[in-house]
Amino acid sequence: MNLQGAIDLAALAKVREAATAPAATNPRNPFVLDVTTESFEAEVLQQSMTVPVIVDLWAEWCAPCKALSPILENLAQEYAGKFVLAKIDIDKEQQLAAAFQVQSIPMVLAFVAGQPLGLFQEALPEQQVRGVIDQVLAAAVSAGVTGVATGATADQADEPEVISDPRFDAAEAALEAGDWDAARAAYNEVLKATPSDPIAKIGLLNVELLARTEGLDFDDVLSRTEADAPTQMQIADVEFICNEFEAAFARLTAVIREQPDARPVVRERLLQLFDIAGPHDPQVVKARVALSNALF
- Of 131, 116, 105, nearest to 54 by C-alpha is 116
The catalytic residue among 1, 15, 33, 62 is 62
Active site residue 62: yes
For residues 239 and 221, is the Cβ–Cβ distance under 8 A? no
Exactly one of 53, 57, 65, 109 is catalytic; which is it? 65
The amino acid at 29: N
98 vs 10: CA distance, rounded Å: 11
List the beta bridge partners of residue 54: 85, 110
What are the backbone angles phi and psi of residue 258, rounded to the nearest 5°? -100, -15
The DSSP string of 115-159 is EEEEEESS---HHHHHHHHHHHHHHHHHTT--EEEEE--TTS-SS
- Chain-centroid distance of CA 50 in Å reads 13
242 is an active site residue: no
- Separation between Cα atoms, residue 288 and residue 275, nearest integer Å: 12
Catalytic amino acids? 62, 65
